[in-house]
Chain A
Amino acid sequence: MFVPCDRGGGSASSDFKGFTLLMPAVSVGNVGQLAVDLVISTLNMTKVGYFYTDCLVPMVGNNPYATAEENSTELSINAEVYSLPSKKLVVLQIRSPFIKNKYRPFCQTLLSWVKSSKCARVVVLSSSHAYQRDDEQLLGTPLRYLLTPDLEKAVGGLMQELNWKEMEKVAAYPGINDSEKVLHIPGGGITKLLFTESCSKGIQMAVLLKFCSEGDNIPDAFALVNYLNEWLQLIKSESNSSTDTSSQWKIPSSWRLLFGSGLPPALF
């Protein structure tokens, strides 16, 4: 459930009517979560609440977006909500994996919150196993999108203009019957479930995903966030020619030591 930070006064900070909800799926390489970190950090978004749930593994730490001594001591938990009213953007960041058998209840709670908060649309950032691509998918862009029918009506045309590639469906019974096609997002966590549920509930949802493998996924996060930016235009590109805004995304201070502590000098 959504619990606002600010209990007193008006619920202005938690009024998301007409907003775009951006969220990650916990997926291969944690790419969606890294990309969301970049958005929150660059746009300097304000934390407006917590998503209190028994479905995610608990964790706490100090402010992952700290820029100075003063703002480094605010506690963060495993699922938090940030907002930027000027861009009508609300972001849910998820920082830990699901507890066994809890991913379905989480999807239900999340989608019912989307409906009750009257968000206009949801954008899910995700990823899928690169090694599961077929021959055609190995060539060209590793970025894909999906739109629910309700959002297709609104922005389908824009995706054509941007020359984006829709996520291909795969044969349900490969080798046996190639006519029946299904959506398959290996390594995507709850992406497929969120998408199919949104289709049936009439929620406007877009999924933006990248094919990747586990490793140093920072470049994947940059690629995904630039892809998102082509559509939502969250930051303006400084140079006139390219749409590449890589250098303008601010890496959060919590991305230090992603691969562990320093090495003992005695090793060498």
Chain B
Amino acid sequence: MATFFGEVVVAPSRAGVDDEEWAEEAREETPEDREIRRELEKKREIDVLWTLKSGASLESSADQPLVCSKFIVAIGHNAAAFLSSFILDSVCWEVVGVVKLWNEWCRTSNTTNVLPTDSFCLFYRLISDPTVLLCQCSCYVAEDQQFQWLEKVFGCMQKEGLQVTILSTCPVADYKTQESTLTLPAPFLKALKTKEFKEQICCPLLEQPNIVRDLPAAVLSYCQVWQIPAVLYQCYTDGIKLDTVTIEAFKPLLSCEILNSLVKDVSESTKILKKLLTTNEIHNNIYI
């Protein structure tokens, strides 16, 4: 393909096929290459560490999987902040696990005392009902790590009687519609559910030809294949960072069966949202 200036370049293919990449991979791997590749793979490995507050580790091996009736996963800063504002608190919930990972986009923080703008992946358990698990995953899980995340997290859980709810966000520009995306009332919610999910959903289903990608898609695919009832609530937003408008777009979920028994005091939520906004401003402000 010739560009505007007359230089001939290789056109990128939508099919994701890069001939140079193929040629590179087709070359015989030397022991050095193998070693480098192994090191890189090790660096990109995900560790899921299950612990109780007291420091003792949970009984969660292959022989004794975690009994879980509800698993709520919030992917991305805004979805995680929604759970922090409306569901989570230090009285009713305890941290039971953390995911440690590294990729080119982020490294998870080691602490459980996280800021809403940090990259982290934490698991919480409802003290009054230990079968209710919640996950806030605001770090980016890369393509090659998504399957690992699935296997290591779901691998510890008993699948019978499990119901999964996923919350995530994505840019409204990705939404395909007959009209222009400029006229859409962003942010708005759309849902996707697996075959086994029979409950009411609190927003319209995502119409064709729209698709969902990344970790939310990986979790929902896993649930569809292994016949676990699951629903994904995707918020299409024009905000790029943490913002209260996007967070509040998830509010209709508070009335649905999965979350309405877990909602905390509304006045608490308003306070937390305000605090989120100020923390965010401080971090984004280059002036003192």
Contact = CB atoms under 8 A, between A and B. Distances in A.
B17 A3 contact: no
B210 to A, nearest CB: 6
Contacts of A213: 11
Interface in A97-150: 97-104, 131
Given A60-B217, A62-B205, A64-B208, A189 B17 contact: yes
Contacts of B194: 75
Interface in B165-212: 175-183, 192-195, 205-212
A62 B207 contact: yes
B17 A26 contact: yes
A59 B211 contact: yes
B14 A30 contact: yes
A60 B192 contact: yes
B109 interface: no
B144 A99 contact: yes
B263 to A, nearest CB: 27
Contacts of A60: 192, 211-212, 217, 220-221, 224, 232
B1 interface: yes
Interface stretch (A9-17, A82-90, A225-233, A248-256): A248-256
Contacts of B28: none
A261 interface: yes
A28 B217 CA distance: 24
Contacts of A187: 13, 15, 17, 19
Contacts of A30: 14-15
Interface of B: 1, 11, 13-17, 19, 21, 25, 37, 143-144, 146-147, 175-183, 192-195, 205-215, 217-218, 220-221, 224-227, 232
B241 to A, nearest CB: 23
Contacts of A64: 208-209
Given A58-B217, A60-B211, A75-B220, A257 B17 contact: no
Contacts of B179: 261-262
Nearest to A213: B11
A73 B177 CA distance: 18
A29 B221 contact: no
A186 B194 CA distance: 38
A57 B1 CA distance: 28
Given A63-B208, A255-B209, A263-B180, A52 B175 contact: no
Given A54-B147, A257-B177, A72 B224 contact: no
Interface of A: 3, 7, 26-30, 50, 52, 54, 57-64, 66, 72-75, 77-78, 97-104, 131, 186-189, 213-214, 253-258, 260-266
The 8 closest A-B pairs by CB, nearest first: A97-B16, A54-B147, A264-B180, A61-B211, A58-B218, A58-B217, A77-B221, A257-B176
A64 B210 CA distance: 10
Nearest to A257: B176
A213 to B, nearest CB: 7
Contacts of A97: 15-17
A134 B46 CA distance: 47
A91 to B, nearest CB: 18
Contacts of A99: 143-144
A137 B217 CA distance: 41
Contacts of B193: 73, 75
Nearest to B221: A77
Given A62-B192, A254-B209, 18 more contacts: A7-B227, A26-B17, A28-B17, A30-B14, A58-B146, A59-B211, A60-B211, A61-B192, A72-B208, A73-B205, A75-B220, A77-B225, A97-B16, A189-B15, A189-B17, A256-B208, A257-B209, A263-B180
A101 B14 CA distance: 18
A104 B26 CA distance: 10
A261 B175 contact: yes
Contact of A75 (B25, B192, B215, B218): B192
A49 to B, nearest CB: 9
A78 B221 contact: yes
Contacts of B147: 54
With a 10 A CB-CB cut-off, give which of B17, B143, B213 has the most chain A CB atoms. Answer: B17
A131 B205 contact: no
A3 B225 contact: yes
A60 B208 CA distance: 11
B218 A52 contact: no
B247 to A, nearest CB: 24
Contact of A27 (B15, B143, B224, B232): B15
15 contacts: A26-B15, A28-B14, A60-B211, A60-B224, A61-B206, A61-B210, A63-B208, A75-B193, A75-B194, A97-B16, A99-B144, A214-B14, A256-B209, A264-B180, A265-B180
